[in-house]
């Protein structure tokens, strides 16, 4: 099998309608991407699989959809106004700007990756560059109107902690899950959808007693790792990496990243952090509101600790795409297959008429499509000859192709082709729905 490269993935995504460069007719906007007809289905399936696993599948979780725009005090309390920045330095020779932690070299003497000249950080001190995207609310662009596009969804959860606690009569431990867009003015976006300035997060804030935080941290690391494996990522392309003390974010007592082996190397899919009581303490102090929890049986009041599994929707989607991509030799030709898990595949079934100029075949194929649509995501396709249609469906990961031919009109049977084995079964129309239900559920 030949190597999966990012070029192959980007090309497939464009060709088959998964991901397009944003604003392409204007030449694109750096590192922004639009999810096309196939991409929007795949991404939605990723989010649904997450929601099913962490909200609907558990008794200890609630969902939330908080606003992107939040009170500006939120970001002072969370530490983002003061601390969410990268140290940048301008090369005096070539005038390009770099993140200091990306510069080759040691200590204060570094090498410019652009012009290869020396950069002396004592003579040329780095400056902090805040990563939050600023905007103004209302018609007057003054300091009083400044707010930010949220750089993480997490804070929407923290400020709603007592709302959810009271409305749902919750006791510890319990968690709140949220999926939504976040924005960061990244200095070095890139690697396709891996690092962008607008992206989507799937975040959980799980509230626990301080004494049980360590145990819940371990449990969530295992649980989140297993989710990726369950949805088809090969376990040898996944690993856990614990942060060293000097790597930890300002709020974290501990953090483990789940990393995937992308074509550009091991990179973070999700981080599971022990945030302690940092956020609730900060918000309680700034807002003046009581955010403590009263543990009735123990008769004590305290700020809960928080375990935070925080993943990227776009990164997970990209990892599922890369991991599912394979090329096979079939009868001297290359077959490209997206071997996506059945929960994630954009279309489950394609119905294909063998002859599109035969109205009776087309009518039967359309009738079958209409019937199956009540239960599955099904597409009718007659835009090419059958061989080509199979190849196209393989490339977008469709699990089963149902082909209607001349004989189907007489024997009321259709051919069902399996994406992975390419095995074809002749199935009675009466039994078709049950056959596919068994395969797909």
Residues that bind ligand GAP (CB under 6 A): 152, 154, 184, 186, 195-196, 199, 201, 203, 268-271, 308, 310-312, 314-315
Between residues 174 and 199, which has the closer beta carbon with respect to ligand GAP?
A: 199
Between residues 154 and 208, which has the closer beta carbon with respect to ligand GAP?
A: 154
Between residues 62 and 314, which has the closer beta carbon with respect to ligand GAP?
A: 314
Between residues 192 and 347, which has the closer beta carbon with respect to ligand GAP?
A: 192
Between residues 312 and 353, which has the closer beta carbon with respect to ligand GAP?
A: 312
Q: How far is the CB of 252 from ligand GAP (least distance, A)?
A: 9
Q: How far is the CB of 157 from ligand GAP (least distance, A)?
A: 9
Q: How far is the CB of 182 from ligand GAP (least distance, A)?
A: 7
Between residues 307 and 361, which has the closer beta carbon with respect to ligand GAP?
A: 307
- CB-based contacts of 347, cutoff 8 Å, min separation 6: 41, 377, 378, 379, 393, 396, 397, 398
**Quick one: tokens of 393?**
């469906």
Pairing relationship of beta strands 198-208 and 174-183 according to DSSP bridges: antiparallel
Between residues 309 and 397, which has the closer beta carbon with respect to ligand GAP?
A: 309
Q: How far is the CB of 155 from ligand GAP (least distance, A)?
A: 8
Between residues 195 and 417, which has the closer beta carbon with respect to ligand GAP?
A: 195
Q: How far is the CB of 7 from ligand GAP (least distance, A)?
A: 20
Q: How far is the CB of 346 from ligand GAP (least distance, A)?
A: 21
Q: How far is the CB of 12 from ligand GAP (least distance, A)?
A: 20
Between residues 310 and 393, which has the closer beta carbon with respect to ligand GAP?
A: 310
Q: Contact at 8 Å (CB) between 19 and 25?
A: no
Q: How far is the CB of 260 from ligand GAP (least distance, A)?
A: 10
Q: How far is the CB of 256 from ligand GAP (least distance, A)?
A: 11
Between residues 79 and 113, which has the closer beta carbon with respect to ligand GAP?
A: 79
Q: How far is the CB of 311 from ligand GAP (least distance, A)?
A: 5
In SS3 terms, the chain reads as CCCCCHHHHHHHHHHHCCEEECCHHHCCCCCCEEECHHHHHHHHHHHHHHHHHHHHCCCCEEEECCCCECCHHHHHHCCHHHHCEEEEEECCCCCCEEEHHHCCEECCEEECCCCCCEEECCCCCCEEEECCEEEECCCCCCHHHEEEECCCCHHHHHCCHHHHHHHCCCCCCEEEEEEEEEECCCCCCECCCCECCEEEEEEEEEEECHHHHHHHHHHHHHHHHHHHHHCCCCHHHEEEEECCHHHCCCCCCEEEEEEEEECCEEEEEEEEEEEECHHHHHHHHHHCCCCCEEECCCCEEECCEEEEEEEEHHHHHHHHHHHHEEEEEECCEEEEEECCCCCCCCCCEEEEECCCCCHHHHHHHHHHHHHHHCCCCEEECCCCCHHHHHHHHHHHCCCEEEEECHHHHHHCEEEEEECCCCCEEEEEHHHHHHHHHHHHC
């Amino acid at each position: 099998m030949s190597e999966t490269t990012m070029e192959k993935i980007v090309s497939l995504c464009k060709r088959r309608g998964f991901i397009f460069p944003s604003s392409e007719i204007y030449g694109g906007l750096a590192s922004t991407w639009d999810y096309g007809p196939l991409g929007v289905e795949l991404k939605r399936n990723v989010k649904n699989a997450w929601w099913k696993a962490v909200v609907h599948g558990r008794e200890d979780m609630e969902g939330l959809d908080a606003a992107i725009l939040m009170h500006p005090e939120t970001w002072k309390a969370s530490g983002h106004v003061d601390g969410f920045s990268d140290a940048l330095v301008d090369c005096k020779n070539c005038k390009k700007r770099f993140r200091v932690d990306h510069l080759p070299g040691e200590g204060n003497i570094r090498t410019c990756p652009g012009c290869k000249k020396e950069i002396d950080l004592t003579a040329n001190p780095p400056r902090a560059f805040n990563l939050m995207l600023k905007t103004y609310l209302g018609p007057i662009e003054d300091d009083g109107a400044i707010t930010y596009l949220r750089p993480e969804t997490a804070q929407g959860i923290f400020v709603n902690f007592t709302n959810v606690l009271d409305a749902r009569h919750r006791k510890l431990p319990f968690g709140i899950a949220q999926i939504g867009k976040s924005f960061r003015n990244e200095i070095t976006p890139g690697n396709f959808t891996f690092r962008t300035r607008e992206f989507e997060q799937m975040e959980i804030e799980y509230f626990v007693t301080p004494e049980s935080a360590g145990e819940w941290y371990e449990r969530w690391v295992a649980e989140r790792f297993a989710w990726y494996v369950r949805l088809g990522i090969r376990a040898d392309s996944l690993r856990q990496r614990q942060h060293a003390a000097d790597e930890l974010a300002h709020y974290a007592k501990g953090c483990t990243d789940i990393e995937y082996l992308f074509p550009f190397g091991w990179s973070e899919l999700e981080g599971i952090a022990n945030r302690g009581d940092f956020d609730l303490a900060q918000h309680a102090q700034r807002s003046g509101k009581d955010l403590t929890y009263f543990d009735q049986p123990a008769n004590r009041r305290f700020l809960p600790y928080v375990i935070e599994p925080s993943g990227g929707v776009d990164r997970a989607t990209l990892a599922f795409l890369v991991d599912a991509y394979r090329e096979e030799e079939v009868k001297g030709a290359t077959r490209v297959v997206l071997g996506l898990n059945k929960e994630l595949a954009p279309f489950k079934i394609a119905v294909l008429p063998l002859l599109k100029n035969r109205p009776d075949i087309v009518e039967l194929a359309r009738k079958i499509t209409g019937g199956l649509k009540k239960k599955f995501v099904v597409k009718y396709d007659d835009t090419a000859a059958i061989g080509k249609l199979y190849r196209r469906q393989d490339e977008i990961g469709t699990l089963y192709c149902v082909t209607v031919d001349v004989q189907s009109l007489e024997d009321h049977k259709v051919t069902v082709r399996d994406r992975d084995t390419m095995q074809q079964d002749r199935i009675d129309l009466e039994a078709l729905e049950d056959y596919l239900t068994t395969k797909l559920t």
